[in-house]
């Protein structure tokens, strides 16, 4: 790699050729408020650049969630689990991150670390969603995940840290993607109230690169109860926890009991929701799903 601009172009071209839909670069200054142990230099001493790649989720896979939610076709949840949540997008991201890291080390002699991706993560090295925002790919939605102008909430991301210095991309500063109190759909469709309503719950606050973000403080126990089918009302074989607000110890004890043997390679039902992602109106929800008859969600059609 000859210079920073050429190096950056080669990385982005490679990412596209590897099937990535998005690629952005952040400098280290945007991670000034990272928690202890989660700063890029805690993982790679001397890190100078954070590269983030992203892949869109298939519309056809997201519509499988609507079939499950609206038509009772819970047998189709495996399509979302395999192709939209824990399997294929993360395999694709893992391969792309590894290939980009290899490219950097081979061509520049600098060091590159591909980080773990999504639900396949083997240890959480840093916040992938914060890295995606830092790299200019989008903004936080109230549902606490990253919205991009191209694909709304329906993206997955991977991260490569490197000692190669690349020019950072500007932070996203386009049209507001999350409509906040004017929308609130993510909180409305959450089956267990894991997302507090805007204006009624204390948000998480992030200041990054001169931008201010606020998003929901997600109740992880409430979310896990649905994801892992820990109660009959959410598809469980029995009530593995006594309420929708159990103590953390009760959640931990129930995790093994709630796992089923019919989840294929994924082993656990960690894909049994995705309502907030599916119903989020960012990136032309009505046009892409409602107008084509892929969801009945009439109460959200005009959002």
What pLDDT score was predicted for residue 303? Answer: 43
CA 162 remoteness from chain centre: 22
> How would residue 234 be classed by pLDDT, with cut points 50, 70 and 90?
confident
Percent of the chain at pLDDT > 90 equals 62
123 vs 135, which has greater pLDDT?
A: 135
Q: Which range (97-111, 125-139, 216-230) has the least confidence?
A: 216-230
Contact criterion met (CB below 8 Å) for 287 and 152: no
- What mean pLDDT value characterizes the chain? 88
For tokens 């000859």, name the residue.
Answer: 2
7 vs 152: CA distance, rounded Å: 29
User: Among positive and negative, which fits the CA dihedral 191, 284, 210, 163?
Assistant: positive
224 vs 219: CA distance, rounded Å: 9
The angle at the Cα of 283, spanning 296 to 14, to the nearest 5 degrees, equals 130
Neighbours of 35 (CB within 10 A): 10
What pLDDT score was predicted for residue 299? Answer: 63
pTM of the predicted model, to two decimals? 0.91
Q: Flag whether pLDDT at 236 surpasses 90.
A: no
Phi, psi torsion values for 292, nearest 5 degrees: -100, 10
Residues 261-279 have a mean pLDDT of 66
What pLDDT score was predicted for residue 6? Answer: 92
> How would residue 261 be classed by pLDDT, with cut points 50, 70 and 90?
very low
224 vs 161: CA distance, rounded Å: 30
Residues with Cβ within 8 Å of residue 209, at least 6 apart in sequence: 29, 30, 134, 171
Residues with Cβ within 8 Å of residue 249, at least 6 apart in sequence: none
Q: Flag whether pLDDT at 1 surpasses 70.
A: no
What pLDDT score was predicted for residue 58? Answer: 96
What pLDDT score was predicted for residue 258? Answer: 60
Q: Flag whether pLDDT at 129 surpasses 80.
A: yes
Contact criterion met (CB below 8 Å) for 264 and 78: yes
Burial class (CB in 10 A: 0-12, 13-18, 19+), 6: exposed
Percent of the chain at pLDDT > 70 equals 90
Q: Which range (5-19, 50-64, 261-275) has the least confidence?
A: 261-275
Q: Which tens digits make up the pLDDT trace of 285-296?
A: 888 898 899 998
What pLDDT score was predicted for residue 238? Answer: 87
Q: Flag whether pLDDT at 119 surpasses 70.
A: no
Residues 27-52 have a mean pLDDT of 95
What pLDDT score was predicted for residue 212? Answer: 95
> How would residue 98 be classed by pLDDT, with cut points 50, 70 and 90?
very high
Residues with Cβ within 8 Å of residue 289, at least 6 apart in sequence: 59, 62, 63, 66, 295, 297
Q: Which tens digits make up the pLDDT trace of 162-197?
A: 999 999 999 999 999 999 888 999 999 999 999 988
């Amino acid at each position: 790699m000859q210079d920073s601009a050429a190096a950056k172009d080669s990385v982005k071209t490679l990412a596209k050729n590897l099937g990535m839909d998005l690629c952005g670069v952040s400098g280290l200054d945007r991670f000034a408020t990272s928690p202890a142990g989660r700063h890029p230099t805690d993982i790679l001493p001397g890190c100078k650049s954070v590269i983030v790649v992203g892949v869109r989720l298939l519309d056809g896979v997201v519509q499988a969630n609507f079939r499950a939610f609206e038509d009772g076709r819970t047998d189709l949840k495996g399509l979302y689990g395999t192709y939209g949540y824990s399997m294929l997008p993360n395999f694709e991201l893992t391969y792309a991150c590894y290939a980009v890291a290899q490219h950097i080390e081979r061509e520049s002699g600098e060091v590159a670390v591909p980080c773990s991706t999504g639900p396949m993560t083997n240890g959480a090295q840093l916040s992938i969603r914060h890295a995606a925002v830092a790299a200019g790919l989008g903004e936080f939605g109230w549902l606490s995940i990253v919205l991009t102008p191209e694909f709304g909430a329906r993206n997955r991301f991977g991260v490569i840290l490197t000692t190669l210095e690349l020019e950072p991309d500007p932070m996203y500063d386009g049209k507001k993607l999350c409509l906040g109190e004017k929308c609130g759909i993510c909180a409305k469709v959450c089956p267990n109230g894991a997302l507090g309503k805007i204006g009624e719950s204390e948000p998480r606050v992030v200041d990054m690169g001169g931008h201010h973000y606020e998003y929901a403080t997600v109740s992880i126990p409430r979310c896990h109860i649905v994801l892992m089918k820990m109660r009959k009302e959410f598809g469980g074989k029995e009530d593995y926890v006594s309420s929708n607000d159990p103590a953390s110890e009760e959640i931990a004890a129930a995790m093994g009991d709630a796992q089923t043997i019919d989840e294929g390679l994924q082993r656990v039902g960690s894909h049994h929701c995705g309502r907030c992602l599916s119903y989020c109106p960012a990136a032309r929800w009505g046009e892409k799903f409602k107008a084509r008859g892929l969801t009945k969600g009439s109460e959200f059609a005009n959002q």
